[in-house]
């Protein structure tokens, strides 16, 4: 997992509006992890909004409400899982990075899962 986190951050040279952060520099690993997660979270939130809108137009509001409840439970699970990982690395320099990267990985995977659901179920109604 740590190799994945470092490679993910190393390969992404993320630029900010006012400055550029070199994600190849290990000193910037926490900041790069935060920026990467912020982008993943925005993609996730956008995708959720689109699914809810689609559910509201194609089905009753009941399905959208159920979907929102499921996603809220999923977020609780992710929080617990990532906090567990941070506790495992507590006291080490990788603790906060592993916590942030855990969120990033989980959100990216969830968007992929929801894309499958969105394409296969909602898109065909």
User: For residues 62, 66, 123 and 74, what is the CA-based torsion angle, rounded to 10 degrees?
Assistant: 170
Q: Which residues of 15-34 are buried (b: 16+ CB within 10 A; e: fewer)?
A: eeeeeebebeeeeebbbbbb
pLDDT of residue 26: 78
90-117: per-residue pLDDT in tens?
Answer: 877 787 888 888 999 999 999 999 988 8
- Residue 20's beta-bridge partner residues? 15
CA distance 116 to 87: 32
Q: Where are the domains of the chain?
A: 30-124
Whole-model pTM: value is: 0.72
pLDDT of residue 58: 74
pLDDT of residue 69: 96
CA distance 91 to 25: 22
The answer to whether domain 30-124 has CATH 1.20.1270.180 is yes
Please indicate whether residue 121 or residue 86 has the higher confidence score (pLDDT): 86
pLDDT of residue 54: 84
Q: Above 80 in pLDDT, residue 5?
A: no
């Amino acid at each position: 997992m740590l190799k994945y986190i470092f490679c993910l951050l190393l390969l992404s040279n993320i630029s900010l509006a006012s400055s550029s952060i070199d994600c190849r520099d290990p000193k910037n690993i926490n900041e790069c992890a935060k920026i990467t997660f912020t982008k993943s979270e925005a993609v996730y939130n956008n995708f959720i909004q689109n699914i809810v809108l689609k559910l509201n137009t194609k089905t009753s509001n009941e399905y959208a409400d159920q979907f929102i409840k499921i996603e809220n439970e999923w977020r609780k699970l992710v929080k617990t899982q990532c906090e567990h990982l941070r506790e495992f690395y507590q006291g080490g320099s990788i603790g906060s990075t592993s916590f942030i990267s855990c969120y990033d990985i989980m959100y990216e995977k969830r968007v992929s899962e929801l894309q499958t659901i969105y394409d296969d179920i909602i898109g065909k109604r």
